[in-house]
Amino acid sequence: MKHLFKEEKKLPLTFKYIEHFRTKTNNKTNNAKGSYVPCKRYHTDYLLRENPTKPLTRLL
Amino acid sequence: MKYFNLFSNILITKGARRILISDLQRNLSDLYTLELYDIIEELKNDSIEDILKNYDTESQQIIHEYIDLLLEKEYGFITNGDWDRNFPALSYEFQEVSEITNIFIEIDHISVLDKITASIDNLGVKHLVIYASKELSMNDYQDIDKKFKDSVLEGIEIYAPFHQAVDQSFFQILNETTSRIYSFIFYNCKEIPFKTKEIFGFSINFSHENIKISACGKVDLKYFNTNLSKILEAVKHNSCLHKKIGIDINGNIKNCPLMPESSGNIYQSTLEEALEIPGFKKYWNLTKDHIEVCKDCEFRYICTDCRAYTELTHTNNGLDTSKPLKCGYNPYTEKWEKWSKNPLKQKAIENYNLPELIKS
Amino acid sequence: MILIISNNGETTTTKVIKNLSKMGKSFIRIHEDEFFDIKTDRKRIYLVSEKNKFFLDEITSVWYRRGGIKFKRLRYNNNAINTHMDETQHWLEDYVIKTLESKKTINKQSNSHVNKLWVLEKAQKAGLSVPDFFLAENTDEVIVNKTITKALTENVIIDSISEHSDAIIYTSIIEQKEKKEFFITFFQEKIEKDFEIRSFYLDGKMWSTAIISQNDEQTKTDFRKYNDKKPNRKIRYQLPKDIEEKTHQLMQSLDLSCGSIDFIKSGDHFFFLEVNPVGQFFGLSAMCNYSLEKEIAEYL
């Protein structure tokens, strides 16, 4: 509700329909390891580490 | 008049006795009857009312139930007057930028990896699977990771013999000091060293067996998976060999390290050169639709093929088109059996001289 | 030489770069934490940062994905001089940006953010159907349950609105009349939709995805009952030719070579909702097997 925000001046009606959610915990510290690695060829420090979409080997 | 529209990201794979419906968006596959296949085909050609006219009351009830099921699973939707023709079919082109997506290499010393680092970057290789025949120390693992520290590799999986230094702190340190290794598999492990709730940036597996590299090629439910990328590749290409390079223990460059033909050696030439050798890619477009038995199997697009070990029963244009040796599923009976015990496979098994089966 | 301006963590940028790398096209990728000096060498202007250096005249195309080119601004002690030098540097930077934007571009730093109201007017002028909209400070003209409201801003997420929470302003249906007046708010006719369509537009071509949620279906059989809320179905869609042509006209009138566009389909009508020049589309692209990263790489 608009009155929850202690504002003197008027807010648009959109604030009545706002949805709150708890701030996500910092994702970067959740994983023991980041999901990005540096890559020179692609000029980025943020190459996404994606797992293979199929089993590359089937030894087990 | 009502019409049923099947969503374009639903794939129906018809097997000898049943069908598999794969939801390519939700990454799920389910088994259904051939009867449902026939109904879906009819729904592509006629309105629901016209189809129902051809059946008696009892059958009509069954058809209603099937349509219910299709709607409940969200495999399609219903329109009035005509099908909605604004939904084009999904393109089944496998659009993969990398020239080679994965390399499977057998090593006895990690220095051999230096021979392929430049090629990995040139070819855009995404995953490297290493089978080490000798134990790897913590430093070895760290060195492997370091060799690829700015490369295009997205992940490294390593099979190696278990040894005593492999304990919880081993992994805690590796978790901090490596970044690309996503899977550790230890074989020849008599007793699993620890259980941990700790979350690492990689998975760890231990096996009691003394797994040789020749153990590869297994076809099993646990290796089945459904996702768009995998299925697109399987529909038009060989689900294992496409865009793969294998390097055996002697440095021979092959499509798979367990296949006989070689296109050069990493001590004399590069991977790029090997790819140019005629015949290297000959299996790349051999799909399950052209492989014996598999072509009648409902699992053929969610499975991963193997050309290194087959039943050696059929060839076509110089390609081995036999069913994989290590597959115990029979689509004509819907039964899974232990492939190694199958009398019809014994000749092929002997031919490959598989050490893992000698004891049985 | 292709110039790419992007944020650091953008995976779509990397995917396009993978394509460029395979095509053998050279590129320079600018990061969000790079600051450039403007320098000259034998009558040619070049930009240099810790990571990159390039001459303006060697750039053949520019992809503005996110972020922006940042310049190092020198500050001077004397206030008057500082004001003068501020303006001098401003014009140099402006000249650099304009020069880059005059080349072949996918989006531009200068118009990567659009005015939603203005776009709706332009869309109407281009002949697209737009749900009736108006601005108001009270609900007198609002028809309850048949009118929606949404934010005028591009970003609908309000981070840390309070100590432990963030907030999102979703498009919402007005459920009741308000007694009090409020700040000017955007209202729009609620359209009974069959489903939504998101299209990616690039230089006259469009690739569309229908986003169908279970609750939208109006033509399902009568005895349908759903227990679970299932995620939306996202599949390839082909918009009618005239809609695509009008969208093309709209994008041209907005001087946008690229963007993602949202529509609603209702019966035989297609309603234009909004355009986002640098929106995320690539997840939908993967699901429909449109290789948009390759299209972008080919265009550059």
CB contact (8 A) between residue C235 and residue B92:
no
Q: Is residue C43 part of a domain?
A: yes
Q: Are residues C14 and C62 in the same domain?
A: yes
pLDDT of the residue at A52:
96
Confidence of residue C168 (pLDDT cuts 50, 70, 90): confident
- Work out the pLDDT band at C224, boundaries 50, 70, 90: very low
Residue of A5, A15, A41 lying closest to C21 (CB–CB): A41
The DSSP secondary structure of B180-218, one letter per residue, reads SEEEEEEES-SS------PPPSSEEEE-SS---GGG---
| More confident of the two residues C164 and C221 | C164
Assign residue C15 the CATH number of its domain. 3.40.50
Q: Is residue C295 part of a domain?
A: no
Domain boundary among C63, C81, C111: C111
Do B274 and B264 form a contact (C-beta atoms < 8 A)? yes
pLDDT of the residue at C215: 58
Q: Which residues of A3-35 are buried (b: 16+ CB within 10 A; e: fewer)?
A: eeeeeeeeebbbbbbbeeeeeeeeeeeeeebee
C-alpha distances in angstroms, B334 versus B134, B331, B340, B343?
41, 5, 18, 18
3-state helix, strand, coil in chain B (%, to 5): 30, 20, 50
Q: What is the pLDDT along chain B (360 residues), one digit of tens a residue?
A: 999 999 999 999 999 999 999 999 999 999 999 999 999 999 999 999 999 999 999 999 999 999 999 999 999 999 999 999 999 999 999 999 999 999 999 999 999 999 999 999 999 999 999 999 999 999 999 999 999 999 999 999 999 999 999 999 999 999 999 999 999 999 999 998 888 788 899 999 999 999 999 999 999 999 999 999 999 999 999 999 999 999 999 999 999 999 999 999 999 999 999 999 999 999 999 999 999 999 999 999 999 999 999 999 999 999 999 999 999 999 999 999 999 999 999 999 999 988 666 544
Residue numbers of the domain that contains C69: 2-111
H or E segment and range at residue B168? helix B168-177
Pick from C171, C189, C207: which residue ends a domain? C189
Q: Which residues have CB under 8 Å from C179's CB, separation 6+?
A: none
pLDDT at C157: 82
Does a structural domain hold residue C286?
no
Closest by Cβ to A58, choosing from B150, B229, B304 = B304
In a shared domain, residues C141 and C55 = no
Task: Give residue-wise pLDDT tens across range B136-185.
Answer: 999 999 999 999 999 999 999 999 999 999 999 999 999 999 999 999 99
Of B141, B39, A14, the residue nearest C153 (C-alpha): A14
Q: What is the pLDDT of residue C79?
A: 96
Does C199 lie in the same domain as C183?
Answer: no
In a domain, C76, yes or no: yes
Indicate whether C136 and C236 sit together in one domain: no
Cβ pair B180:A42 closer than 8 A: no
A23 in contact with B at a CB cutoff of 8 Å? no
Residue C234 contacts B where some CB pair is shorter than 8 Å:
yes
Cβ distance of A60 and B211 shorter than 8 Å: yes
C296 falls within a domain: no
Give the type of residue at B97: V
Is A18–C158 a contact, with Cβ atoms under 8 angstroms apart? Answer: yes
Bridge partners of C262? C198, C274
DSSP C175-241: -S--SS--B-EEEEEPP--SEEEEEEEETTEEEEEEEE-GGG-SSS-TT----S-PPPEEEEE---H
pLDDT confidence of residue C158: 85
AA letter at C264: I
pLDDT in tens, C99-117: 999 999 999 988 888 999 9
Sequence-distant (≥ 6) Cβ neighbours of residue C169 within 8 angstroms: A14, A15, A17, A18, A19, C150, C151, C153, C156, C158
Residue C112 is predicted with a pLDDT of 87
User: Which amino acid is residue C259, in one-letter code?
Assistant: G
* Within a domain: C294: no
Within this chain, do residues C164 and C105 fall inside the same structural domain, yes or no? no
Instruction: Kindly tell me the burial class for residue B164, based on how many C-beta atoms sit within 10 Å of its own C-beta (0-12, 13-18, 19 or more).
Output: exposed
DSSP B48-60: HHHHHHTS-HHHH
Across-strand partners of B127? B102, B155
Question: Residue C51: closest CA among chain A residues belongs to which residue?
Answer: A43
Please report residues of A whose CB lies closer than 8 A to that of C172: 14, 17
Question: Measured between CA atoms, how close is B154 to chain A, in angstroms?
Answer: 5
Mean pLDDT of A44-57: 95
Judged by a CB distance cut-off of 8 A, whether residue B97 touches chain C is: yes
Q: Do C93 and C140 share a domain, yes or no?
A: no
pLDDT value for B359: 47
Q: Is the residue at C290 inside a domain?
A: no
d(CA B46, CA B1): 10
- In a mutagenesis test of the B interface, which of C214, C225, C233 is the best target, namely the one with the most B β-carbons within 10 Å? C233
Residue C209's pLDDT is what?
95
Q: State whether C204 and C183 are in the same domain.
A: no
Contacts of C154-162 with C-beta under 8 Å, sequence gap 24+, read C154/C113, C154/C114, C154/C116, C154/C276, C158/A18, C159/A23, C160/A23, C161/A5, C161/A18, C161/A20, C162/A20
How far is residue B251's CA from residue B266's CA, in Å, rounded to a whole number? Answer: 5
Report d(CA C253, CA C276) in Å as an integer: 15
C137 and C164 housed in the same domain:
yes
pTM: 0.91
Using CA atoms, how far residue B329 sits from B83, B206, B236, B334, B340, in Å, is 38, 26, 22, 7, 12
Q: Which one-letter amino acid corresponds to residue A52?
A: P
Which CATH number belongs to the domain containing residue C261 in this structure? 3.30.470.20
pLDDT of residue A3: 55
C138-166: average pLDDT:
88
Rounded mean pLDDT, C249-274:
95
Please indicate whether, in this complex, the C-beta atoms of A55 and B223 are within 8 angstroms of each other: yes
* Burial class of residue B115 (count of CB atoms within 10 Å of its CB; 0-12, 13-18, 19+): middle
Confidence of residue C169 (pLDDT cuts 50, 70, 90): confident
CB pair distance less than 8 Å for A11 and C178: no
- Placement of tokens 């709706």 in the chain: C120
Cβ contact, residue pair B97, C289, below 8 Å: no
Tally the domains of chain C: 3
How many CA atoms lie within 13 Å of B204's alpha carbon, on the beta-carbon side? 21
- pLDDT attached to residue C167: 85
What is the rounded distance in angstroms from the CA atom of residue B117 to the CA atom of residue B152?
Answer: 10
| Cβ–Cβ under 8 Å, residues B157 and B183 | yes
Q: Does residue C86 belong to any structural domain of this protein?
A: yes
